[in-house]
Structure 1
Amino acid sequence: MNANVKLYWILTVFFLFLSGLYTTWSLLDANHQRVEWVGTITLLLSGLLFLLIGFYLSKVHSAQGGELAEDRLDANIEDGEAEQGHYSPWSWWPIVLAGAASLVFLGVAIGPWIAFIGGGILVVSLVGWTYEYYRGYFAR
């Protein structure tokens, strides 16, 4: 993860520098002499995206203790076998959530009334998936 963090910081600096260079170059162009906004904003937002990801990964990396098994050259395979998270294999809520998201996107493409129906189902499925361990057989 340490290599990923460094890579994202390098890409952040690269795209922010490239955005400034692109803006300067478009201003110095003899034909236009104005800012070409599409390329400037695209490069700037790309740099900000890499900044966001690099900041997040560096915070996660420092919260996990700094050095992971993936970062050490002398690590064995079994050093990184800790639990990565929890997912309910019997849960139907992700399928309902995917169907609701597809209805929302279909509503954007076809008609807004479908998006409102999909939005309602989306809210219900998010609440259901969030609170599935608070009711029923698997309640804690």
Structure 2
Amino acid sequence: MKLTARMFLIIAVFFFLDVPLYWWLSHDPTGTAALTMAFGLCGMIYFYLAFTVRRIGPGPEDRDDAEPHEGAGEQGFFSPHSWWPFVLAAGGAAMFTGIAVGFWMCYFAAPFLAYGVYGLVFEYYRGENKHY
């Protein structure tokens, strides 16, 4: 994970240096905004990975002498039968369609988006999947 964090840092630095150069050569506000957002996203991913590797320590992928079986096993918990990502994606798609087509649609999509976020976050706090 340390190598992956370093890779995202290098990409973020590239975007940081590229944004002013791109704007100076093209004066294109759309491309400049897209490159700025790409810099921000790469920076956030770098921060998350660097924070996580400091918290849990280096993994087998960070060592040169590691064996493949050291990386086997549980990688995390992923809900196998959840419908909440679908509800969240449908609400988000309707919201962004409303931004593109007509803002009136956002008023109808926002409750579905909020309901999807609520359901995904609190999925394991109630019902048959409740964790104690």
Equivalent in 90, 100, 107 of residue 99 of structure 1 = 90
The CA deviation at 1:49 is: 4.9
Equivalenced residue count is 129
**Largest Rg, 1 or 2:** 1
Runs of 5+ consecutive residues of structure 2 not aligned to the other structure: none
> 1:47: how far off?
5.1
Q: 2:47 aligns with which of 37, 50, 55?
A: 55
**Does residue 120 of structure 2 align to residue 120 of structure 1?**
no
Instruction: Give per-residue Cα distances to partners, 1:87-136, cap 9 Å, x unaligned.
Output: 22221111111111111011112121211111111111211122222222
Give % identity. 34
Q: Which runs of 5+ in 1 are unaligned?
A: 27-35
Question: Is 1:69 the equivalent of 2:60?
Answer: yes
Give the partner amino acid of 1:5. Answer: A
Measured after TM superposition, the shift of residue 14 of structure 1 is 4.5
Greater Cα offset, 11-20 or 77-86: 11-20
Q: CA deviation at 1:55?
A: 3.0
User: How far did 1:17 drift?
Assistant: 4.8
Counterparts in 2 of 1:14 and 1:102: CA distance versus 1, 3 Å: closer
Query: Which residue identity is paired with 1:124?
Result: Y
Q: RMSD over aligned Cα, in angstroms?
A: 3.1
Q: Is the 8 A contact 1:15 1:43 kept in 2?
A: no
